[in-house]
């Protein structure tokens, strides 16, 4: 009798999905900090991905829609003002990044994070990439989603607190924003732990 060798079918290798991660809103005096994680689909490329800060608002919105439609997976998370004031802006940013990665519908094999720090508790191997939003398409995509989500939040803050002109300065410490802060005082959306807001509160309590 001729013995036939048993045939074993090896499981297919896990896809080499790479997630890019970036944040928006570390520097402003008000509003949450946002983070996004994106796994791009190599079969559905998106032209024009770049650091979100170098794109016009209109171009960011167009690309954000394409990312949401074509990416294999994407997620956006935020850390609110109370969290920022409690744990500091760096830790709040890392927390939002970690939450965005955890919310991805597909598990990545590698996570690329813009900057020089990695969040704790990531689900796979990770690497920090300084200037990654201009170097890695997945990080560029994440920067665009985070920025557009943050800008939408600022428009909502403007509707809630129109006197502060959040639609114009997006929470950053511009001359207009500081002028309105002096005029009206901080609103609930302002970060009490940030120096200009903290000093103003100290002056009013003196």
- Mean pLDDT check: name the lowest of 19-23, 27-31, 197-201: 197-201
For residue 12, report the phi and psi dihedrals to the nearest 5 degrees: -65, 145
Nearest to 185 by CA among 168, 157, 164, 166: 164
Write out pLDDT tens, residues 116-143. Answer: 999 999 999 999 999 999 999 999 999 9
For residue 191, report the phi and psi dihedrals to the nearest 5 degrees: -85, 105
Sign of the torsion angle spanned by Cα atoms 144, 146, 149, 150: negative
CB 30 within 8 A of CB 191: yes
Q: Span 8-29, mean pLDDT?
A: 82
pTM for the model stands at 0.91
The helices-and-strands tally (H runs, E runs) of the chain is: 7, 5
Instruction: Write the CA distances from 141 to 56, 57, 86, 113, 176, integer angstroms.
Output: 14, 14, 29, 12, 30
Per the document, the length of the chain is 206
Write out pLDDT tens, residues 176-202. Answer: 999 999 999 999 999 999 999 999 888
């Amino acid at each position: 009798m001729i013995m036939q060798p048993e045939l074993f079918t090896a499981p297919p290798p896990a896809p080499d999905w790479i997630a890019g991660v970036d944040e928006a809103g570390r520097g402003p005096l008000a509003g949450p900090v946002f983070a996004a994680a994106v796994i791009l689909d190599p079969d559905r490329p998106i032209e024009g991905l770049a650091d979100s800060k170098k794109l016009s608002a209109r171009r960011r919105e167009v690309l954000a829609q394409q990312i949401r439609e074509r990416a294999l997976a994407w997620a956006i998370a935020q850390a609110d003002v109370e969290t920022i004031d409690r744990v500091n802006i760096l830790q709040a940013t890392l927390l939002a990044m970690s939450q965005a990665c955890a919310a991805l519908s597909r598990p990545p094999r590698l996570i690329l994070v813009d900057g020089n720090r990695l969040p704790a508790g990531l689900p796979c191997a990770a690497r920090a990439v300084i200037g990654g939003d201009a170097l890695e398409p997945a990080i560029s995509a994440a920067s665009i989603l985070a920025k557009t989500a943050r800008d939408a939040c600022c428009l909502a803050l403007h509707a809630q607190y129109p006197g502060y002109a959040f639609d114009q300065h997006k929470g950053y410490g511009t001359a207009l924003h500081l002028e309105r802060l002096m005029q009206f005082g901080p609103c609930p959306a302002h970060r009490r732990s940030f120096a200009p807001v903290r000093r103003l509160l100290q002056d009013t309590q003196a």
